Structure 1
């Protein structure tokens, strides 16, 4: 009985760990200067009312450097383009990005330890791969539902996300504020869309991969 409960607990841990690892990976993709360049180069991307294209890109890269922990807030203050509310929000974003990195690494370690634990308990490879398959499929289903909701009401999700992770309320800005000039609504819509697409591709590939591996293991067992 205790053994069954323990295995079910490990199964839940694996299901939770996998999407957290993918979140951390995908956030790193967005926090890449190349993504900014690609996004800003789009023909229909809104132009800034206050900044020229080169200035906006360089300033956005400075913001990126700050929230990734590569520089301190002087890189923002020295420009004299950000008000205290914007700097306060970026400080919160910096903390969240750092926590996401640690969460991804922690989840990866937990996933590996969980697999080794199952192996040490004599759990068959077929069962372990089944746990991983279930985790990938669960992630795929969740992201599919999330994509449907985001299509129906993106603003609801956007506002909800900020209320949860930035309860301080310093995430709302005027249209003339620098952060809005750098990151208009289209930027966030495109970024969310990319995250969803990456998640769908990754979870689909993992689901298929674990399914094929599980099928192979099952066939090998029958031949023995």
Structure 2
């Protein structure tokens, strides 16, 4: 065995990293496109143009990498730069006419760099700016039309709130009328009528107590769900039927009209509540305006119908029955039970009571919804301005 202890070689100094950029290596086939076309490829000596071209390419790449090392953004290689590099290679190639002229490469590079971008052979695509259309002003007619449309859209009021106001104004009179009819169709109104002074008595023997008992049966039948037997099976003290078949049939027709009216009133009341809730959220003062218009419509209807009834009650009563009942089904003799319980004076008083209730409700609504400045939400400053304007407008 060798007693000599092997001496570990000292680590050599770190070698510099090899240059991996082979753009200047003209021997590589992948970079043959860098070799000038007019270079002397037949000679065994490497053309000067290749060396110079590699050196120029290395310097060009170093120049492009230098701004990146300093934190600057490298500029892209343009066509002018490429032409300048090719011109430098051509001037340095053997056999070139400009090889011996100093400054020829620089002049060629300068001419290539100074080549205008819009010259033939170097097309430049220019993308239009996004705001280029803003610099084109439309005709005055188009401007005026657009301004008019914009102003009209700004001043236009939504359709839904106005529709709800109109709906509430139309519904309100019918609701008041149905509620008044329902208030009259009660035993309380019968008691008031039969006991008030001046109400005509029954000439065929019904006392006030008899009228109140039999009349309450008739009123209850109009509002319950019982069949015609509810009235058809009633008998008098003598054992005779209280109501004839024709009277029972007419009361069944009246019941159908009353129940339909009450159902329609419930539906209209639901629609009115929906309109009120919608207007309270979407339209300031919309409920007030709708009820105010509805009260005016109610007053007009009541005054018109009251005038017709006052001018000819009998004709008014007849036309009213013809609207809802068939001819001949609602006419009876004076000794029939319906006529004895509900004489003509009863219907006159019922009409007056209905008209009075509707008139009172509409007047109260009119007063409560009168469009004063405070209810319209006019500010004190605006009120003063309106007052001053009114004073100015006065002659």
Confirm or deny a common fold (TM above 0.5).
yes
Partner of 1:67: 222
Alignment partners' CA distance in 2, 1:172 and 1:54: 26
Partner of 1:30: 184
**TM-superposed deviation, 1:141:** 1.7
Matches within 5 A, 1:97-176: 97-120=258-281, 122-125=282-285, 127-167=286-326, 169-176=328-335
Alignment partners' CA distance in 2, 1:43 and 1:132: 38
Whose helix proportion is higher, 1 or 2?
A: 1
After superposition, the C-alpha distances for 1:192-211 in whole angstroms (9 at most, x for unaligned) are: 01111111111000111111
Q: Which moved more, 1:108-117 or 1:156-165?
A: 108-117
Give structure 1 stretches of 5+ with no counterpart.
none
Give the SS at the match of 1:211.
coil
Give structure 2 stretches of 5+ with no counterpart.
1-152, 235-240, 382-395
CA contact (8 A) 2:302 2:359 kept: yes
Q: How many residue pairs end up in the alignment? A: 220
CA contact (8 A) 1:143 1:200 kept: yes
CA contact (8 A) 1:65 1:71 kept: no
Q: TM-score by structure 1 length? A: 0.89
Q: TM-score by structure 2 length? A: 0.52
CA contact (8 A) 2:232 2:245 kept: no
Alignment partners' CA distance in 2, 1:165 and 1:173: 17
**TM-superposed deviation, 1:5:** 5.2
**TM-superposed deviation, 1:222:** 1.5
CA root-mean-square deviation? 2.2
